[in-house]
Structure 1
């Protein structure tokens, strides 16, 4: 009865085109799973990150599951997986919970609802506390990467997170007997682009390429194994080759079932959120919360922190007003939103949030509070990131100390001695306070490369290899000196 009620409700909120897509998708999925009689033995995995697009995909696949049950008397088990990171506010978990309630997933024995926190897989519960280990891992990745890139948004927040997504896929796909199929909304062209990106990285890093089986196809496990090798190389570069624990914690699980296949719904439906507004905000009760909806993302607060860091960089490094740097990022991010075809009324929400004379100070306070509450990072430590003073053998250290910490400027020789391996407890404590990093981490930065201030991708640097070909970057004109001309600078973000 609950299934019938849910299916009937979905037929009311899905368009005729969507319902045709549901039927066509069901037929293709049954064929790929191995005929109707075996469907009950199959498990299909759907990733639900808590954003608007994945919410729609979840509803669509739920409709497929229920249609198969209506027509054949049985259906597949749907495993829904949410990967949580520290930048995912509670509002996202609440959106996930409301979607599960609306689709009656909690009440259906053929639905498995999982939450992946770092290397842990647990049943989803909206009030499950955030893992302190995941928070610390995210905090360290942000600081160590930010100090290599003048806190540029995309590498600082997204590089490590993307590896975490792959790891979560592997963990969830292998969990409790594994799954038979992963449903994606990516087109075959997008999937091929991801595969080629992985192969390009593997070649550049000198790690093995994905292996093809007897049929000539590449298994998901083989791809995950290569991503694991890439992740190991990346995190060894970021945290140092001696950081064995940090590298091991960030491994990507590749032991997924060999039977696992990918299935795309790209040809069956359209993702544009504006076309599914009633389904999202009415039926699923999806809320575009101020903490969760930020620029291109509807399930993450970090893009607002990226804007804050850009504003701090313009203020502290370039001598501009904080408000000018913030406005620069807002325009950049709105262009990204338009590129992703986000509805104009959601773009206007972003414009309104950052508009008005009080907005810069309000957002500054909000993001300082968010950084401190979520990651334990102070504004002083954010400022240290935008200077990136320790990398490249302390290339920017003198300027940073002179401007931001004049009391420490006289101790620069002692600081350099610490960075070169000497012990000096007083200096080490001061450095930890202003950076948020341990002495061994600062020493790793000291011997690491630093991206140019222009934002130009230097090609050989590990942090930039990940970003090659990434669409979330633009060249902006900015004044790096208050009295100088506007010069081009490559920035990235979400």
Structure 2
């Protein structure tokens, strides 16, 4: 870069900063100065800030886009008053469930903040354990899609079918492994910066520990529930969090292998206390400057960031239908009932409640919603409705303890083949049609079903929360009697 070009780019960056600051309130500007001070202290002083590298995780969600804007403002502010500023690595984990809207949000925020061409900034993504330059137009690779699908199923099946519906715990494990590896890549980073609240941090650490146990790894020996212990916990888990599932199977390794540091120096910088503005005040910055396009209903309703709202509601409907012998509509209604109680307790705007009712309370469109959600699950997660139902029953763990119940409930015609199914899971010869049925209904190769067969379920206590019988739960106007006849057929 020539001196003239460098001067021109510095002018552009300062223009970006001025426009960015124009969206900040006085309180946000004060918080920005405190964040700069926190970063400078962590770096060991302003004279060492140019050697300091910060990691930010970008998911395309509202809060991660806002946090990135704050970090960019800090980086450019320091650049305007000191000889050098900190370096920034922005990393995205590519998953099967990521929406095109999220990827577009990431791209637009990168463009608005002029990250792509700034040599002080790295924008990367990880697909199937390979670190690549970020590209919002690139689909998840076929190998990555299949690996993500298998990981979801293997972790998801290690639950007691009577326990909580922790079907998406693989997201915690994949993200934890991602944190550990991307912080070691290409000479590593000095700090992870996050604005997650203490509650969000605890939820993630609990989910990571639960998922790790499902993957056959040891429970955490660290009592702390926040990100202060994140990297110690990740180190404890090891570099391959799925090794107990795929021993003897081909499984992608992190690559380029030569680019990963043997030791990590990463610490955690918590900035959740610096998000001083309320959510409503942030929208102009998010939408007008960063080009963020929100799905407001999903933001407020989603129980889990690793799966879409429609799929989560769909699974609740399937659970009611196949596991509890009620109707699909009743399961969706119960899900929305509980969510509405939570929303009103949090005093969220009533328009979100109205959107939820409009989306889920019309019995004439419920069958269409079910079909769309089933198509979405097949497209994004690679799972058919039959495979989701199988996942609900978790019939293979603990030597197939709940297999007979699963067959009686969903596939009574296969009860006659129960001895053959057990033989197949034990690695013994079995009829080809039985092996094919197992693969079709589960989405897993028989060898991996055998791995689950030798493992036990990982249970956890129920999470306190509103129950169906709570007096505060208001019934939705959904006519459950409109369930279509034959809805209990899974298609196999």
TM over 0.5: yes
Residue equivalent to 2:314: 308
Per-residue deviation, 1:170: 2.0
Residues 428 and 439, structure 1, Cα contact 8 Å, conserved in 2 = yes
Query: Which of 159, 162, 166 lines up with 2:176 in the alignment?
Result: 166
For residues 15 and 329 of structure 2, what CA distance do their matches in structure 1 show?
Answer: 51
Q: Does 1:370 align with 2:376?
A: yes
Residues 296 and 336, structure 1, Cα contact 8 Å, conserved in 2 = no
Pick which of 45-54 and 296-305 moved more: 296-305
Residue equivalent to 2:85: 75
Query: Which of 432, 437, 447 lines up with 2:444 in the alignment?
Result: 437
Residues 79 and 113, structure 1, Cα contact 8 Å, conserved in 2 = yes
Residue equivalent to 2:166: 155
Query: Which of 30, 50, 56 lines up with 1:20 in the alignment?
Result: 30
Structure 1: which 5+ runs fail to align?
212-217, 451-460, 483-494
Pick which of 290-299 and 270-279 moved more: 290-299
Q: Does 1:6 align with 2:16?
A: yes
Seen in structure 2, the aligned counterparts of structure 1 residues 442 and 151 have a Cα distance that, compared at 3 Å, is farther
Query: Which of 122, 137, 144 lines up with 2:132 in the alignment?
Result: 122
Residues 305 and 367, structure 1, Cα contact 8 Å, conserved in 2 = yes
Q: Does 1:282 align with 2:293?
A: no
Residue equivalent to 1:225: 235
Q: Does 1:407 align with 2:417?
A: no
For residues 209 and 298 of structure 1, what CA distance do their matches in structure 2 show?
Answer: 25
Q: Describe the SS at the equivalent of 2:125.
A: strand
Structure 1 length-normalised TM = 0.78
Per-residue deviation, 1:32: 1.8
Seen in structure 2, the aligned counterparts of structure 1 residues 256 and 273 have a Cα distance that, compared at 3 Å, is farther
Q: Deviations over 1:437-485 (max 9, x none)?
A: 22122223334435xxxxxxxxxx3xx36xx6978x665459xxx9xxx
Per-residue deviation, 1:92: 0.9
Q: Describe the SS at the equivalent of 1:262.
A: strand
Query: Which of 314, 323, 336 lines up with 2:329 in the alignment?
Result: 323
Q: Describe the SS at the equivalent of 1:267.
A: helix
Per-residue deviation, 1:110: 1.7
Q: Does 1:428 align with 2:438?
A: no
Q: Describe the SS at the equivalent of 1:156.
A: coil
Give the paired residue count: 450
Q: Describe the SS at the equivalent of 2:273.
A: coil
Residues 295 and 333, structure 1, Cα contact 8 Å, conserved in 2 = yes
Seen in structure 2, the aligned counterparts of structure 1 residues 191 and 153 have a Cα distance that, compared at 3 Å, is closer
Residue equivalent to 1:486: none
Seen in structure 2, the aligned counterparts of structure 1 residues 166 and 198 have a Cα distance that, compared at 3 Å, is closer
Seen in structure 2, the aligned counterparts of structure 1 residues 272 and 87 have a Cα distance that, compared at 3 Å, is farther
Per-residue deviation, 1:108: 2.2
Structure 2 length-normalised TM = 0.79
For residues 382 and 195 of structure 1, what CA distance do their matches in structure 2 show?
Answer: 26
For residues 208 and 172 of structure 2, what CA distance do their matches in structure 1 show?
Answer: 12
Q: Deviations over 1:163-192 (max 9, x none)?
A: 211221222212211112221214679768
Query: Which of 87, 97, 100 lines up with 1:90 in the alignment?
Result: 100
Residues 51 and 298, structure 1, Cα contact 8 Å, conserved in 2 = no
For residues 43 and 266 of structure 1, what CA distance do their matches in structure 2 show?
Answer: 19
Seen in structure 2, the aligned counterparts of structure 1 residues 351 and 5 have a Cα distance that, compared at 3 Å, is farther
Residue equivalent to 1:394: 400
Structure 2: which 5+ runs fail to align?
1-10, 471-479, 481-492
Residues 210 and 226, structure 1, Cα contact 8 Å, conserved in 2 = no
Residues 384 and 434, structure 1, Cα contact 8 Å, conserved in 2 = yes
Residues 59 and 93, structure 2, Cα contact 8 Å, conserved in 1 = yes
Per-residue deviation, 1:100: 0.9
For residues 206 and 322 of structure 2, what CA distance do their matches in structure 1 show?
Answer: 39
Seen in structure 2, the aligned counterparts of structure 1 residues 105 and 348 have a Cα distance that, compared at 3 Å, is farther
Residue equivalent to 1:419: 425
Per-residue deviation, 1:68: 0.9
Q: Describe the SS at the equivalent of 1:6.
A: helix
For residues 276 and 392 of structure 1, what CA distance do their matches in structure 2 show?
Answer: 49
For residues 389 and 209 of structure 2, what CA distance do their matches in structure 1 show?
Answer: 36
Residues 368 and 379, structure 1, Cα contact 8 Å, conserved in 2 = yes
Seen in structure 2, the aligned counterparts of structure 1 residues 149 and 274 have a Cα distance that, compared at 3 Å, is farther
Seen in structure 2, the aligned counterparts of structure 1 residues 51 and 334 have a Cα distance that, compared at 3 Å, is farther
Pick which of 305-314 and 272-281 moved more: 272-281
Seen in structure 2, the aligned counterparts of structure 1 residues 181 and 390 have a Cα distance that, compared at 3 Å, is closer
Residues 172 and 208, structure 2, Cα contact 8 Å, conserved in 1 = no
Seen in structure 2, the aligned counterparts of structure 1 residues 28 and 383 have a Cα distance that, compared at 3 Å, is closer
Per-residue deviation, 1:14: 1.5
